[in-house]
Structure 1
Amino acid sequence: CGTDVSSQAQRCRHRYDHIDLPPIRPIVTRVELYGGRCRGCGKRYRADAPAGMAPGTPFGPGIRSLLAYLHHSHHVGFERLSRIAHELFGLVISEGAIANAFRRMGAGMAAATKAITDKLLTAQVIASDETTTRTNGITHWQWVFLSDQAVLHKISKRRARQVAEGVLGGHQPDVWVSDRYAGQQELGREHQVCLAHVLRDVQYAIDCGDRAFAPKVRDHLRWAIRIGKRRQSLKDTTLASYAAKADNVLTSLMRVPIAHPAGKVLLKQIKAWRGKFFVFLTNRKVPATNNISEREIRPSVVFRKVTNGFRSDWGAQIHAGYRSVTGTARLSGQSALSAIRDLVDGKFAVA
């Protein structure tokens, strides 16, 4: 009606947020270093550069960290990185400049990887896995080794046992967790095989027609895994009785006559790995499966599928270092972008 209500008491009738991003543009700082010739000694002199703005690459740590984050965490190729920088941030940077920015991270990556390796070798339980990658069009292998405090990625030309032995350097953890690949056997005092992989083989025997032996093994392994998920709420004596029961039941299942060929193959496999199924029921720190390694190496598998690998050996090593740094930082709750920024700033430290 047009009445003046400015002097009346009012209360909030509607509340909402409006969120937007301002245009993002790089901050360019021109640095001029003055100097001259000393009248006393006759030598030329020049002022020192401001801290963090030494001559060399014009791109600061924020830009280098973001480029590494987008490339290695989100699988953005060099050409698209250059376009994103120009179209989204108003930053003109070539693919060659991006490559040079990554190459300069090599020394920091090497130092961080050394610290992560030292931390890894203090662990009592180490899990590991490997997958293929491509470097210069040649198949290489990307390994991952992890504990509850460190994650180490390593890209090697070989899948052989010597890769893991080279990382361990004579160290032998209490328990090694992996699949049943021969190159990862006898690296720890005890070995927990991944029961998820075993269940896959059991399911294959069921699919082939074994209806007597394989289903019982499947049910028994699933039972053991469920017990493992409740370990923290169980007393030591209770857990020990469950471990004994798991072993005894599996022994009794193996004594039953088996007629189906697929069941016989499965029985042979179980006999080969007989003592490595239920270590997790005697050690609370040991997982029943190797899913932690599978999850850690999965982003690199996606990276390989999107980018088709690496064009240089140094590029592969930078990726392995990046995955090691960000994987280790994630264990302490730090984001990948924050971790790589700390690395570029020379502040990265293993907790």
Structure 2
Amino acid sequence: MSNPTDRVPAGRPTIEQVLNENERLRLDLERAERERDRLRREVERLRGQLEAARRAGFRQAAPFSKGVRAAHPRRPGRRSGSAHGRHGQRPAPTLINDVQDVPVPPACPQCGGAVDDTHVTAQYQEDLPPVRPVVRRFDVHIGRCRRCGRRLQGRHPLQTSDAVGAAAVQLGPQALAVAASFNKQLGLSFSKIETVFADRFGLTVTRGALVRAVHRVAAKAQPTYTALCETVKTSAMVVADETGWRVHAALHWLWVFTTPDTTVYAILPGRGFEEAASVLGADFGGILIRDGWAPYRQFTEALHQTCVAHLLRRSRELHQDHPHARIPGDVHDLLQRALAVRDRYAAGTISEHGVAVVRGQLEQQLARVLDRTTVVPDVQRFVAHLDREWGALFGFLRVPAVDATNWRAEQALRPAVITRKVNGGGNRTTQGAATQQVLASVLRTARQRELDGIEVLATLLRAPHPIVSPDLFSRAPPC
């Protein structure tokens, strides 16, 4: 009996050849799939590097390198022409502490001739006086109750502690408050504060003593910090943001919640809803202005406004990366139109009813833009993000008092970011993190309310027990 392969017409492949070809194609397909996966991973890696490089251009602290210097840089100074702004000059002081008479020379230094005194003009000089420490001695009277035998001692309003004996030599409230401000508000390290105190103030103090002293200041300010947290929690509008922070080299997050006159910092181990709710409260029902970070959307009782500046930047970058995709450019134009309407309302050229009409038109146009189909994965993710943020896109057109961006929170984070860069990325201990959030909150709030933060802390230090700051809460702060 003949073999079936013998009956295969000439020129046609045999079954064995077909099987071999199938095996070869299968192996080629597997190799192509592996290469495809490798290229996808490479694309994602390069995309991440590109995004990191792009973000570096918008980071809060400028890099040391500014790139290639321009061949013909613009001349420094004001622009030519008359419309360059007002001329600035330092105003003449109203309080004069010292007057010095400056006579003309008796003879002309050029020719030796006599000089006639024609008139007198004033020049002012504002200077810092030499600062030297004031050393006080408190003669503390100690007594005992005749009835119960309890030991009692006197206390002066300028004292910061009842300690005597080995702990009788202490820093005063002004020195402690200045040290806390230098470290938590200006970002100076304790070694630099030690140098400033010794060289400029004539006050010798070690770094270890400064660290312990600043912790004591924070302990006295803790009730004030708690009151500030309650103020933010009950505010009508809060702007929130967060940034990375190190505590004992472990990643934490520095949260900020700010209103027009109050700021609260919180250093927490996570970046989720639980951490934000620990400050705001899970049922926060005010206006929450924030970026597009997903946990913020879990505040379901709040009226949300997402940061339009973030969306503008993202749409602009997508349009640059994918110029053939129309969606990013159209979204960018609609957001710019919304901001223009806000500006017109602020200028009084459009009524609230007009704003509401335009807002409805913008929402309809944006909905049509987002209904389009796109095959670009980055644009698809952007569209999905806008769908999730739909109710938070035009809140600033519903309520005129709402900011369109979270710039208040970013500005509140900026000093902390500088401090992070200077002082090694955060705090070395949990106690240091607690001290950081308390003192930074009190000092920032004092500045917002145009108060002397050093005097606020000094008042707290002079109190016998930790109290709520009478300077910050002498009146109910506006929300």
Normalising by the smaller structure, the TM-score range is 0.7 to 0.9
**SS of corresponding position for 2:256:** strand
CA contact (8 A) 2:174 2:455 kept: no
Equivalent position of 1:210 in the other structure: 323
Q: Deviations over 1:193-244 (max 9, x none)?
A: 1111111211221121234222221121122123223434343212211221
Equivalent position of 2:355 in the other structure: 239
Range that drifts further, 187-196 or 65-74:
187-196
Equivalent position of 1:228 in the other structure: 342
1:12–1:216 CA distance, 2 compared to 1 (3 A): farther
Residue 265 of structure 1, CA deviation = 3.7
- Distance (Å, rounded) in 1 between the aligned partners of 2:195 and 2:377: 58
**2:221 aligned to which of 99, 109, 115:** 109
- Distance (Å, rounded) in 2 between the aligned partners of 1:36 and 1:159: 54
**SS of corresponding position for 1:74:** coil
Asked if 1:349 is matched to 2:477, the reply is no
Identity among equivalent positions (%) equals 24
- Distance (Å, rounded) in 2 between the aligned partners of 1:11 and 1:46: 71
What amino acid is the match of 1:221? L
What amino acid is the match of 2:399? N
Superposed, which structure 2 residues align to 1:48-127 within 5 Å? 48-53=154-159, 54-56=161-163, 58-127=170-239
1:251–1:28 CA distance, 2 compared to 1 (3 A): same
**SS of corresponding position for 2:123:** coil
Asked if 1:147 is matched to 2:259, the reply is yes
Superposed, which structure 2 residues align to 1:1-351 within 5 Å? 12-33=119-140, 48-53=154-159, 54-56=161-163, 58-187=170-299, 188-211=301-324, 212-232=326-346, 233=348, 234-256=350-372, 258=374, 260-308=376-424, 309-346=426-463, 347-350=470-473, 351=477
1:273–1:210 CA distance, 2 compared to 1 (3 A): farther
CA contact (8 A) 2:143 2:153 kept: no
Range that drifts further, 233-242 or 107-116:
233-242
Residue 277 of structure 1, CA deviation = 0.6
What amino acid is the match of 1:243? R
**SS of corresponding position for 2:427:** coil
Residue 33 of structure 1, CA deviation = 3.8
- Distance (Å, rounded) in 1 between the aligned partners of 2:448 and 2:206: 34
Q: Scaled by the length of structure 1, what TM-score is found?
A: 0.87
1:172–1:35 CA distance, 2 compared to 1 (3 A): closer
CA contact (8 A) 2:185 2:415 kept: yes
- Distance (Å, rounded) in 1 between the aligned partners of 2:174 and 2:457: 10
Q: Scaled by the length of structure 2, what TM-score is found?
A: 0.65
Residue 328 of structure 1, CA deviation = 2.1
1:210–1:344 CA distance, 2 compared to 1 (3 A): farther
Residue 261 of structure 1, CA deviation = 5.0
Q: Deviations over 1:45-76 (max 9, x none)?
A: 88624332354352111101111111111111
Residue 12 of structure 1, CA deviation = 4.5
Consecutive unaligned residues of structure 1, counting only runs of 5 or more, are 3-9
1:36–1:297 CA distance, 2 compared to 1 (3 A): closer
Q: Deviations over 1:312-333 (max 9, x none)?
A: 1111111111221122223322
Range that drifts further, 296-305 or 326-335:
326-335
Residue 259 of structure 1, CA deviation = 5.8
CA contact (8 A) 1:109 1:318 kept: no
1:338–1:31 CA distance, 2 compared to 1 (3 A): closer
- Distance (Å, rounded) in 1 between the aligned partners of 2:330 and 2:377: 16
Equivalent position of 1:5 in the other structure: none
CA contact (8 A) 1:176 1:191 kept: yes
- Distance (Å, rounded) in 2 between the aligned partners of 1:37 and 1:220: 77
Point out which structure has higher relative CO (alpha carbons under 8 A, 6+ apart): 1
- Distance (Å, rounded) in 1 between the aligned partners of 2:298 and 2:329: 30
- Distance (Å, rounded) in 2 between the aligned partners of 1:32 and 1:272: 68
Residue 256 of structure 1, CA deviation = 4.5
1:163–1:278 CA distance, 2 compared to 1 (3 A): same
1:11–1:64 CA distance, 2 compared to 1 (3 A): farther
Residue 95 of structure 1, CA deviation = 0.9
Range that drifts further, 307-316 or 167-176:
167-176
What amino acid is the match of 1:30? R
**SS of corresponding position for 1:50:** coil
Count residues with an aligned counterpart. 343
- Distance (Å, rounded) in 2 between the aligned partners of 1:44 and 1:217: 75
Range that drifts further, 277-286 or 254-263:
254-263
1:326–1:44 CA distance, 2 compared to 1 (3 A): closer
Residue 190 of structure 1, CA deviation = 2.5
Range that drifts further, 110-119 or 11-20:
11-20
1:192–1:97 CA distance, 2 compared to 1 (3 A): same
Computing the radius of gyration from Cα coordinates, the structure with the larger value is 2
CA contact (8 A) 2:190 2:210 kept: yes
**SS of corresponding position for 1:206:** helix
- Distance (Å, rounded) in 1 between the aligned partners of 2:150 and 2:292: 67
**SS of corresponding position for 1:341:** helix
